[in-house]
Amino acid sequence: MMKTNRRSFISTAIIGSIGAPLFAMDTYSKKAPRTTIAGEPFRGIFPIMQTPFREDGEIDLEVLRKEVNFIIAAGAHGMAWPQLASEFYVLSDEERLATAEVIVSEANGRLPVIIGVQSTNYWKVALKFARHAESIGADGIISLPPYMSNPTVEASVRYYETLANTVDIPVFIQNSGGRWGVTMPTDRIVALGSKFPQTFYVKEEGDPVTHRIGAMIDKGKGALQGVFSGGDGTTLLNELRRGCAGSMTGVGMVDIYAKIFNSFTAGKEKQAQEMFDKMMSFQMFKRTAGWLPTEKAVLKERGVFTNSKMRIAPYDLEWDEVDRQEFQVLFDRLKPFFEVSN
């Protein structure tokens, strides 16, 4: 159900290399946003959900619901959809709105749900996604910065300011860089956190990622609610030693990452290191065999997905018999650490 207390907005111009699109800026003072279901800041493993497709290319909502319940049973601390690992770039706006409702409804308050809102039409459609996410009960939103037409840092700052003024739920800044927008400087992100207390989290993926995370944590104390990592947890222990709040991994091995996080935060670093070391052999395989198809293959192997179909495959590489054999060997090594069995 949509909220009845609609906000008032004014249009504000933003000047940068992308031209001068208009943003909607809130004229009302903000309330303190929600944090986690328990009222504490987000912490832990928040996997980015993969999007299951039927053989006809349509989203498989039955499998999607199964994925939500797998994440909960696996011991994750939250979940997010749709981001890069979700293939958001091949989804229609209508699919994103409807599927977000299915995920929030299926989670039903059992874990925090973070909804991705980025769009090429970031001055209008992204704000529509953000308002919709809040209206359906999402616990937060996450967004890449503007990523088309070489946007500036100033454009990105104004975009996140606008998101913070549009909703009363936490906002994750996905600081990926490269083709997905400018890598925002640490001081500008911290300034955003200072301007909007209790609002901003960061998913930091800029290089060198571990050092950037450390600097973000040190400088962001009292301003940022938490700094998370991405990169499918490949440097998770290094990040946790620097005070990282958690990581946004894939779903396929989320129970192992949750155990690594829980062991580390409980002071059992040796146990965490042993699990992490075994995970890294599998991560190296994913780098060469293709991250997304491998992630979907894991979900199929674990009985969550019925296939590993992508709507538009971003990889030309196809597995041969050696790849399939190596996958099975590495997968079987990790089975003792699974929390959920099929």
Instruction: Give the residue among 221, 296, 281 at the shortest CA–CA distance from 51.
Output: 296
Q: Which helix (H) or strand (E) holds 137?
A: none
Strand, coil or helix: 27 = coil
* Start-end of H helices in 2-92: 61-73
Instruction: Give the residue among 224, 221, 144, 222 at the shortest CA–CA distance from 189.
Output: 224
The residues, ordered by sequence, that sit 6+ positions from 132 with a Cβ below 8 Å of its Cβ are 97, 100
Enter the pTM of the model. Answer: 0.88
> Would you tell me which CATH number, out of the four given (3.20.20.70, 3.40.50.150, 3.40.50.2300, 3.40.50.1000), belongs to the domain 12-26+33-267?
3.20.20.70
pLDDT bin (cut points 50, 70, 90) of residue 31 is very low
CB 86 within 8 A of CB 296: no
Q: Two tokens at 51?
A: 């999007």
Separation of alpha carbons 283 and 190, rounded Å: 31
Query: What's residue 9's pLDDT?
Result: 30
- Greater confidence (100 vs 149) lies with 100
Query: What's residue 314's pLDDT?
Result: 56
Please provide the average confidence, as pLDDT, over all residues in the chain: 87
Reply yes or no on whether the pLDDT at 12 is more than 90. Answer: no
Query: What's residue 341's pLDDT?
Result: 82
Reply yes or no on whether the pLDDT at 315 is more than 70. Answer: no
Tell me the per-residue pLDDT of 230-270, one tens digit each, with 9 for 90 and over.
989 999 999 999 999 999 999 999 999 999 999 999 999 99
Evaluate the CA torsion angle 269, 273, 276, 280 in order and state its sign.
positive
Q: Give the whole-number percent of the chain exceeding pLDDT 70.
A: 87
User: If 0-12 CB within 10 Å is exposed, 13-18 middle and 19+ buried, where does residue 288 land?
Assistant: exposed
